[in-house]
Amino acid sequence: MAYKIVQFIIGQILTEEELREHFLISPVEVLTALRDDMGFDLTGAEIDAIAKTDRKLWEAGPDCIDGRLRRCPLSPPPRRDR
């Protein structure tokens, strides 16, 4: 297992909102694309293990990380009516 790659991928999912949203919908597809299209050296076992990680981590984890360490969403925030 390439732990540095796995750690990097987990960090990306937790800190990049758009990636996390796609991951929550299709985890295996996102991880496979990272391997096949982006060249990340992930094994099938690593993809399976990350995909099967408790969904609560991906949903609540970003709230535990200081906002300065998270990437800003690419889409504008929802507009508030005054």
pLDDT of the residue at 1:
54
The answer to whether residue 23 sits within a structural domain is yes
Residue 79 counted as domain residue: no
Q: How many domains does the chain have?
A: 1
Residue 64 lies in a domain: yes
Residue 81 lies in a domain: no
Q: What is the pLDDT along the chain (82 residues), one digit of tens a residue?
A: 578 999 999 999 999 999 999 999 999 999 999 999 988 999 999 999 999 999 999 999 888 888 787 775 545 545 556 4
Structural domain boundaries, residue 23: 3-69
pLDDT at 10: 94
- pTM for the model: 0.77
Would you say residue 46 lies in a domain? yes
Q: What per-residue confidence (pLDDT) applies to 71?
A: 72
- Assess if residue 50 is contained within a domain: yes
- Cα separation of 5 and 52, whole Å? 17
Is there a domain that residue 74 lies in?
no
pLDDT number for residue 73: 56
Q: Which residues contact 65 (CB under 8 A, 6 or more apart)?
A: 14, 15
